């Protein structure tokens, strides 16, 4: 019985990944699940002196899709935000909308505490992964 329950959970997660998310979203979610040592907090990303990096979940999405870039040691949005800056905190909203997110922080009807940025900063990438798996339509408007 101890083997069957995790196996059923894994099959359920794979089914949700294949049916509720597009290929880019699936690749990102799998990366989050399998690479916890890359997780950073409170900014898109930062390079360490040894050349490795840490990124928040949205920064990692930005790296994988090209909507964020390195500016020396810090990851920034490639597009300016509504204040005319290249943000170190969130990817540009128009880029996030293009990839199926409802916005760069959270859907307008969602409390900030349930946003991916907040979940990343107080929890783990696995928490972000499970939030998306358990509520795909809560975080994505379309499959990409």
pLDDT in tens, 98-138: 999 886 566 666 777 788 989 999 999 999 999 999 999 98
pLDDT of residue 113: 78
**Domain residue extents for the chain:** 20-139
Q: Could you tell me the two tokens for 117? A: 């940025």
- Please identify which residue in the block is written with the tokens 């998306």: 132
pLDDT given for residue 108 in this prediction: 64
pLDDT at 10: 86
Give me the pLDDT at residue 43, please.
Answer: 93
Non-local (6+) Cβ contacts of 50 within 8 A are: none
pLDDT range class, residue 144, cuts 50, 70, 90: very high
**CA–CA separation, 101 and 132 (whole Å):** 11
Which pLDDT belongs to residue 85? 73
The pair of structure tokens assigned to 98 is 């293009």
Burial of 78 (0-12, 13-18, 19+ CB in 10 A): middle
pLDDT of amino acid 31: 98
- Please give the average per-residue pLDDT across 86-96, as a whole number: 84
Confidence of residue 63 (pLDDT cuts 50, 70, 90): very high
- Look over the chain and give the mean of its residue pLDDT values, rounded to a whole number: 88
Mean pLDDT of 36-48: 95
pLDDT of residue 5 exceeding 80, the answer is: no
Q: Say if pTM beats, i.e. exceeds, 0.85.
A: yes
Task: Please report the pLDDT score of residue 133 as a whole number.
Answer: 95
Whether the CA torsion 47, 92, 127, 143 is positive or negative: it is: negative
């Amino acid at each position: 019985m101890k083997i069957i329950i995790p196996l059923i959970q894994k099959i359920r997660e794979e089914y949700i990944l294949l049916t509720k998310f597009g290929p880019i979203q699936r690749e990102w979610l799998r990366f989050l699940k399998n690479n916890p040592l890359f997780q950073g907090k409170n900014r898109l990303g930062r390079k360490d002196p040894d050349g490795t990096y840490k990124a928040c979940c949205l920064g990692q999405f930005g790296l994988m899709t090209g909507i964020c870039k390195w500016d020396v040691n810090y990851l920034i949005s490639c597009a300016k935000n509504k204040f005319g800056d290249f943000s170190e905190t969130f990817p540009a909203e128009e880029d996030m909308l293009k990839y199926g997110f409802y916005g760069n922080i959270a859907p307008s009807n969602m409390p900030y505490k349930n946003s991916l940025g907040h979940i990343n900063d107080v929890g783990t990438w696995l928490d972000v992964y499970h939030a998306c798996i358990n509520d795909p339509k809560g975080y994505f408007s379309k499959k990409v």
